[in-house]
A and B are shown apart, each in its own frame.
Chain A
């Protein structure tokens, strides 16, 4: 199947790039992720409950889909969400570990535990957009565009999948993160 990349965003702690052009930069003060949420006039309070991996993946997807400009929030199953990273949900894992490390101060929180799975971010994007198609999170030993391209090509073997929202989403702390996300469509 022939496919092409339609839009691409890159989000780092310093800036946001759209199709290779810098469109926003972090300014001192509140976190860049919150700044982007406000800049894009999102009204989705669930965002503030998310862990950093979800916030990064969610924002990148929102910005990409706004650029796409298609009608949104209509149930569909022809779009897959397939994301990748190396370190899984390491930041949420470390946060949850802190809540159980001390028997004298044992307070495991369900709202933290639920984010200790990397595929929660694919679920957050599916919920937001009413995507009933495939959702998947794949871990790679290192960032590799080739390995990601191969996985995306395989995803199109699903008879319903006509486009894939995909990319690398890594967040090992509140201040160390990267998302490169693109929309790949069959042509």
Chain B
């Protein structure tokens, strides 16, 4: 039994379809813009924001508001819209009891806390997840994975296990986050933000940029390998080191990579690329390079997508996985936008240009606060 992708969608400032996003990435476009005082915040920042007008139009076209009570927040809109598109593309019956909805978000509706009398019930992403399940008439309790920046990969690993265990036949995974003064001021307080476009793995990197996105993927069980992408392994491990800084030895990431290679049977030479986190903070990129080297994968091309979108938090794991799939289908490893000169002590092959490949497998890697790390492996068709 295999776990196969049968539908996907994405909504970012670079486009509201996978195709548009892939084209934008290959053209080297970035959604990152500098704002001197976004929402009145007392510092400049570089972020990527989903335009409200375009979202309103798409939402009105794709989402049946009869099934909703009251007005949706921006977060709820991008979640519903990306879910609706992926469900439609997959052709599944979302009301089936064999289908489970899994949401990935770090802060969901936290912007509501700025209201004078905030609706506290609605702040948690668990509320949004139930709203999606209700919208599609799905009878199962939806899951929300909230593991900081690795959530989007954890949600896919959870989906993989939901299917492998036989608990469900199909899982709809949605990763989404929107920005707000809460999130931007928080990252600024951690001194994690760069006031320029980010430069993953580069010698002169100054920090990360934040971005808004939603991306959804539908996985289902299938009897045999055929055309299309399958998820073949996933693991989550903890550094057991620090709640807000990565391990100096890349312990958790190293362990996820070793587990995923072991479980999937994939060898370094099978992999087209490692699509990494590459937030462009000093410590994250250094840690990832160490983990990759320790895992014996330092000859595998490494690419990061934060230069196009910034760090899209709970969306990142889904968005970056889907873009890598699309790129490899076209025989391309996208350029790491913003990369110039390698700036990690364990050099890994990062390229500022897109690279051709014939290979059909990759590993997605993420790490996050709480010392958590995740990796998952994906193979296209017969692949190897």
A: which residues have CB within 8 A of B? 75, 77, 81, 86-88, 90, 93-94, 96-97, 100-101, 103, 106, 108-110, 113-114, 116-120, 122-124, 126-127, 129-142, 144, 147, 150-151, 153-155, 157-160
Q: Is B130 an interface residue (CB 8 A)?
A: yes
Q: Is B139 an interface residue (CB 8 A)?
A: no
Among residues of B, the one whose C-beta sits closest to the C-beta of A122 is B370
| Known contacts A93-B110, A135-B371, A136-B236: A141-B165 contact under CB 8 Å | no
Q: Is B296 an interface residue (CB 8 A)?
A: no
Contact across chains for B369 and A119 when beta carbons are under 8 A apart: yes
Give min CB distance, B97 to chain A, whole Å: 13
Question: B residues 244-293 with Cβ under 8 Å of A?
Answer: 244, 251-252, 255, 259, 262-263
Q: Which residues of B contact A138 (CB under 8 A)?
A: 143-146, 158
Query: Which listed residue (B127, B145, B162, B190) contacts A113, Cβ 8 A?
Result: B190
Q: Which residues of A contact B243 (CB under 8 A)?
A: 114, 120, 123-124, 127
B: which residues have CB within 8 A of A? 40, 42, 106-108, 110, 113-114, 120, 123-127, 129-130, 141-148, 154, 158, 161-162, 164-165, 167, 181-182, 185-191, 235-244, 251-252, 255, 259, 262-263, 368-372
Among residues of A, the one whose C-beta sits closest to the C-beta of B252 is A132
* Complexed CA–CA distance, A144 and B143 (Å): 11
Give min CB distance, B111 to chain A, whole Å: 10
Q: Which residues of A contact B143 (CB under 8 A)?
A: 138-140, 147, 151
Contact across chains for A133 and B182 when beta carbons are under 8 A apart: no
| Known contacts A127-B371, A159-B262: A106-B42 contact under CB 8 Å | yes
Q: Which residues of A contact B146 (CB under 8 A)?
A: 88, 117-119, 137-139
Contact across chains for B238 and A134 when beta carbons are under 8 A apart: yes
Query: Which listed residue (A75, A114, A118, A139) contacts B190, Cβ 8 A?
Result: A114
Give min CB distance, B378 to chain A, whole Å: 17
Among residues of B, the one whose C-beta sits closest to the C-beta of A103 is B40
* Complexed CA–CA distance, A74 and B372 (Å): 19
Most buried by B among A93, A138, A139: A139
Contact across chains for A127 and B124 when beta carbons are under 8 A apart: no
* Complexed CA–CA distance, A96 and B123 (Å): 14
Contact across chains for A159 and B42 when beta carbons are under 8 A apart: no
Most buried by A among B239, B243, B252: B243
| Known contacts A139-B126, A139-B146: A130-B141 contact under CB 8 Å | no
Q: Which residues of B contact A123 (CB under 8 A)?
A: 238, 243, 369-372
Q: Which residues of B contact A87 (CB under 8 A)?
A: 120, 123-124, 126
Q: Which residues of B contact A134 (CB under 8 A)?
A: 235-238
Contact across chains for B167 and A154 when beta carbons are under 8 A apart: yes
* Complexed CA–CA distance, A119 and B374 (Å): 14
Among residues of A, the one whose C-beta sits closest to the C-beta of B160 is A157
Q: Which residues of A contact B263 (CB under 8 A)?
A: 159
Contact across chains for B186 and A133 when beta carbons are under 8 A apart: no
Q: Which residues of B contact A135 (CB under 8 A)?
A: 147, 236-238, 370-372
* Complexed CA–CA distance, A124 and B147 (Å): 13
Most buried by B among A77, A130, A135: A135
| Known contacts A75-B240, A86-B124, A133-B237: A97-B182 contact under CB 8 Å | yes
